A = this chain, B = another copy of it.
Amino acid sequence: MADDLGWQDVSVPMHTEATALNAQWHTPHLERLAAQGTVLTNGYAAAPVCTPTRVSLMTGQMPARHNVTYWTLHHDRDTSKNHPRIAPPAWSKEGLQPGTPTLPKVLRDAGYRTIHAGKAHFGAHGTPGSNPSHLGFDVNIAGHGSGAPSSFLGTHNFSAAGKQMANTPDAKPGRPSVWDVPGLDAYHGKDMYLTEALCTEAINALDAAVNDGVPVYLYFAPYAVHTPIMANAKYLQRYEGLHRTEAAYGTMIESVDAALGRILERLDHHGLANNTIVVFTSDNGGLSAHARGGTPNTHNAPLHSGKGSSYEGGTRVPWVVRWPDVTEPGSRIDTPVITQDLTPTLARAAGAVFPADHPLDGADLRSVLKAGGVPTRPLVWHQPHQWGANGPGIEPFSAIRDGNWKLLVFHDGPRVELYDLSEDLGESNDLSVERPEMTSQMLQQLRRVAIGTGLQMSIDKATGTPIHLPSGTGGAQ
């Protein structure tokens, strides 16, 4: 589970054709995985920001249901940016907490050693859920309540203080930061990039489990390529000539790919490759509204916008799965799939069972991965929050994709947009007026999902009441 890695941030083509961005980045190990497995070209993250997607993987539920609809940090603080006219509803700003069934919990019950390595960001600081060990993981490597590291460098002790001292050697050490990465003291002061340290620790835990003869669920979440964008110096040469930030970004991507390569090699070494499901994906679309080099909002082209947005750039991400005897080597599948599908898929493959009263929104993808068809149920995104950067579609919204149609409801108004992704992947031609019956149909579908999941719309500041989700014409019968 890469962090903030966009649809075009890999060298494996995710679009119908290879793009200039595919040529710019370098992910040879992902290319190998794709050649041995399946590329899901319509693969989505559950949300355009980190925590909701990660909680969806843990719970198998869409954010509208699990209600962790935005990123978390402190248990008592809403991280949403202020919006002039609307406010978030009563969302779970504490994040995921013990008591909720999770994928690692049910896998552990089924006999698996469950290993967390890297970014957790499931529950807020000051709550039990900030520790992955309380959420079903037997092993926790460097995970806590923050969704980014103070620094990616071992020479900085992965800390704000270390970074400050490195930049201004005569400064006094600052106080510990909530963003400092915990648990990697062995690498402090060393010339070691965070992704590599995490990978080494993850492989050690994997080796130990193999040695103990137990099956393994390894959730490898390398913090990269989230901000701060900091270069892994050993890969920099390849990106000479790029904007400095983009060059650093390229090395972050390559650090993730190198870790993937090491894990794949370790599976080969243990003779486990033929008996292991490997999934590569990301928690939201690529950062593009700020902090990047080049033109803002173009980093996920041909998709529109990026992280935080309701448009495709916000949620469509790389998806590659290698599943021996299920995926066809080198195949490409265009059935839409989404983060929470992985939960029942992996649970079921492992013989693990969620409690009967825990609703699972995700679908078992086994037959999709084998044959490419079904399920075709609509996918729904819901973020009743203003994210902290400006860009197209970055505002409180709900959205639904059904077949090739996508409908967006911006809560401020509310306003509706409709796109035919088969003709207009870049979402530039709003058809909501031209196609009233399709707009109505999609609104009805969204409404049904809203009822079933308990989806909470944004609050109108003027009245203190929830914004009304527009209903399609034509009542259900």
Question: How many angstroms between the C-alpha atoms of A377 and B420 in the bound complex?
Answer: 19
| Residues in chain B near residue A454, CB distance under 8 A | 371
A444 to chain B, nearest CB (A): 6
Task: Given A364-B359, A438-B437, answer yes or no on A404-B476 (Cβ-Cβ < 8 Å).
Answer: yes
Q: Of the 9-residue stretches A78-86, A160-168, A242-250, A349-357, which lies at the interface with chain B?
A: A349-357
Interface string of A333-354 (1 = CB under 8 A from B): 0110000000000001111010
Other-chain residue from B371, B378, B404 in contact with A452 (beta carbon distance below 8 A):
B371
Interface string of A419-439 (1 = CB under 8 A from B): 011110100000000010110
Interface string of A429-457 (1 = CB under 8 A from B): 00000010110010011011111111000
- A474 interface residue, CB < 8 Å from B? yes
- A403 interface residue, CB < 8 Å from B? yes
| Residues in chain B near residue A16, CB distance under 8 A | 477
- Which residues in chain A, 368-394, are within 8 Å of chain B measured between CB atoms? 368, 371-378
Residues of chain A whose beta carbon lies under 8 Å from any beta carbon of chain B: 15-16, 41-42, 334-335, 348-351, 353, 356-357, 359-361, 364, 366-368, 371-378, 402-405, 420-423, 425, 435, 437-438, 441, 444-445, 447-454, 474-477
Listed by A's residue number, 25 A-B pairs whose Cβ atoms lie within 8 Å are A334-B477, A335-B448, A348-B356, A356-B366, A367-B453, A371-B454, A372-B451, A373-B447, A373-B449, A373-B452, A374-B452, A374-B453, A375-B452, A376-B445, A377-B378, A402-B441, A403-B444, A403-B445, A404-B444, A404-B477, A420-B437, A421-B477, A422-B477, A425-B477, A437-B438
| Residues in chain B near residue A476, CB distance under 8 A | 42, 334, 404, 422
A313 to chain B, nearest CB (A): 15
Q: Contact: A448 with B376, CB < 8 Å? A: yes
| Residues in chain B near residue A371, CB distance under 8 A | 451-454
| Residues in chain B near residue A378, CB distance under 8 A | 376-377
Extra contacts, 9 of them, besides A41-B477, A356-B366, A373-B448 (Cβ < 8 A), are A335-B448, A348-B356, A350-B356, A360-B364, A371-B453, A375-B377, A376-B378, A403-B441, A435-B437
| Residues in chain B near residue A437, CB distance under 8 A | 420, 435, 438
Q: Contact: B474 with A404, CB < 8 Å? A: yes
In order of increasing CB-CB distance, the 8 nearest A-B pairs are A373-B452, A377-B377, A374-B452, A373-B451, A422-B474, A359-B367, A334-B476, A373-B448
| Residue of A335, A348, A454 contacting most chain B CB atoms (<10 Å) | A348
Question: How many angstroms between the C-alpha atoms of A351 and B109 in the bound complex?
Answer: 14
Task: Given A402-B402, A420-B474, answer yes or no on A335-B374 (Cβ-Cβ < 8 Å).
Answer: no
| Residues in chain B near residue A445, CB distance under 8 A | 376, 403
Q: Contact: B376 with A423, CB < 8 Å? A: no
| Residues in chain B near residue A448, CB distance under 8 A | 335, 372-374, 376
Which residue of B has the minimal Cβ distance to A476? Answer: B334
Question: How many angstroms between the C-alpha atoms of A148 and B435 in the bound complex?
Answer: 49
| Residue of A445, A453, A476 contacting most chain B CB atoms (<10 Å) | A476
| Residues in chain B near residue A449, CB distance under 8 A | 373-374, 376
Question: How many angstroms between the C-alpha atoms of A444 and B334 in the bound complex?
Answer: 12
Other-chain residue from B366, B421, B441 in contact with A357 (beta carbon distance below 8 A):
B366
Question: How many angstroms between the C-alpha atoms of A451 and B376 in the bound complex?
Answer: 12
Q: Contact: B366 with A453, CB < 8 Å? A: no
Question: How many angstroms between the C-alpha atoms of A376 and B374 in the bound complex?
Answer: 13
A407 to chain B, nearest CB (A): 12
Q: Contact: B366 with A359, CB < 8 Å? A: yes
A318 to chain B, nearest CB (A): 16
Which residue of B has the minimal Cβ distance to A452? Answer: B373
Other-chain residue from B361, B364, B372 in contact with A374 (beta carbon distance below 8 A):
B361
Q: Contact: B357 with A452, CB < 8 Å? A: no
| Residues in chain B near residue A350, CB distance under 8 A | 356
Q: Contact: B373 with A405, CB < 8 Å? A: no
Question: How many angstroms between the C-alpha atoms of A451 and B349 in the bound complex?
Answer: 22
Question: How many angstroms between the C-alpha atoms of A334 and B477 in the bound complex?
Answer: 7
Q: Contact: B441 with A405, CB < 8 Å? A: yes
Which residue of B has the minimal Cβ distance to A334? Answer: B476
Question: How many angstroms between the C-alpha atoms of A402 and B403 in the bound complex?
Answer: 10
